Amino acid sequence: MVVARMALAASLEAMLLERYAGTRSRAAVSKLANKVQPLEHSLSPLEPSPSPKEDPILAISAKLDLLDSLKFGLGYSVLQRYTAEFLDESAFELWSIMAAVLFTTGLSPEAIGTLFKKHPCLFASAVRSPDNVKELFEWMREQGILEKDALRVVNRFPLVLQTDVGGCLEPRVAYLCEELGMSRGEVIPSLVRHPELLSVESAWVLRRIVYYRDGLGLTGEDLSALFRAQPSAFAADVERYLVPMTETLRDYFDLERSAHLVVKSGLLSRSVDTVRARIGVWIDLGLGKDDLRVALRRFPRLLCYPVADAKYQEKLKFLRTEMAVNLPSAIRAFPAIVSYSLENRIRPRALAVKALGGGRKAVTVQQMAMTEAAFIKLHGLDTASYAAFVQRLREDER
């Protein structure tokens, strides 16, 4: 028996080295081969003349062929990470069943292939708990989650493939609906955008809700709006992110409700150092603390934009030089201008008025929020001439 096991390990090592030549080291392959052979309980020991069905090397090779046909090296990865499940004598059949089951939940064959390639744990789940993945995708379909969004959930939060639907996912969704006073149809879209929240225990979420409600004074309506806009805020570490960011804004601007601003601004996903650097950039551009304080109240997401980047510096330069605006005054009055596209909105509108409208009315930053039709009407431009000018401008910029 010992000799047979040694022979099996040697044969497996030779096969793996030949198959994955140049992509895996001999040491790694040898380690894997020796890891495999004690677990070969479901395969018969080597015999003098084994049939293909009984030969463990051929059985392993057939599974590697299947997985490597999806993506070269996938077979090795699954064998290495999920050795016991890979070697299960029913694995081949269970993998095929899993693919068929996923197809019945509405996934396309292409999506199923992509899912298996991206998440090798599916090969293990198919052996350990084949019904769980089926229940997951059926549950997501029942929630109105489309195929592309279901795949997004899995790609962002792969552990969901191993999470119990009835015992974990369903109770957490129901809890969020109850605590936030929202319908399931309102909660699910936010969870699709931030599926990691499905891994957060209800007690942790409750601590966030209590802090936002009692500590910051957010109303039930505020909490619902926050969950729609920034579901990650309900998984954030208050002590690590919210409190330091709050203190930073309070130190700079003496904002009475700085914590409320942080929650609504999306700054929880940024570091304190990043926010301090962006404040410094705005100050270097001539804005005072009072300008920034007013701008933040009007547009809480102002500090989420990396204004030091070339893209934003070019936009601000255009405002100063081509539109001749006073930057501190413009940002104070309409801070959302940083979110508008220079190429698709700001530059075409400003230059079109200069070229076609004779400059009878000044173009202001606030006008960038207008619809195109309203902007054209305000400046008395001809619609066809405006469209032709913008088209030529874009062609020149290519």
Q: What's the pLDDT tens digit per position in 69-102?
A: 988 999 999 999 999 999 998 898 889 888 888 8
Q: Is 143:106 a contact under the CB 8 Å cutoff?
A: no
Q: Is 82:120 a contact under the CB 8 Å cutoff?
A: yes
Could you tell me the two tokens for 128?
């350990």
Mean pLDDT for 285-313 is: 93
Q: The tokens 């802090």 sit on which residue?
A: 211
DSSP 8-state class, residue 354: H
Q: Is 153:194 a contact under the CB 8 Å cutoff?
A: no
Q: Is pLDDT at 38 greater than 60 in this prediction?
A: no
Could you tell me the two tokens for 190?
């936010």
Which residues 6+ apart lie within 8 Å of 307 measured at CB?
A: 278, 281, 282, 285, 313, 316, 338
Please, what is the angle between helix 91-104 and helix 56-70, to 10°?
Answer: 30
- Predicted local distance difference test score (pLDDT) of residue 51: 45
pTM over 0.75: no
- Predicted local distance difference test score (pLDDT) of residue 44: 37
Rg (CA), the chain: 30
Q: How many C-beta atoms surround the C-beta of residue 148 within 10 A? A: 9
Q: Is 34:9 a contact under the CB 8 Å cutoff?
A: yes
- Predicted local distance difference test score (pLDDT) of residue 2: 57
Q: Is pLDDT at 208 greater than 60 in this prediction?
A: yes
Q: Is pLDDT at 46 greater than 50 in this prediction?
A: no
Q: Is pLDDT at 198 greater than 80 in this prediction?
A: yes
Mean pLDDT for 173-177 is: 94
Instruction: Among 160-169, 254-263, 304-313, name the most confident range.
Output: 304-313
DSSP symbols for 253-266: H--TTHHHHHHHHT
- Predicted local distance difference test score (pLDDT) of residue 348: 94
Per-state percent for the chain, helix, strand, coil, to nearest 5: 75, 0, 25
Q: Is 44:71 a contact under the CB 8 Å cutoff?
A: no
| Apex 124 CA angle, 66 and 105, nearest 5 | 80
Look up residue 156 and give its amino acid: R
Q: Is pLDDT at 52 greater than 50 in this prediction?
A: no
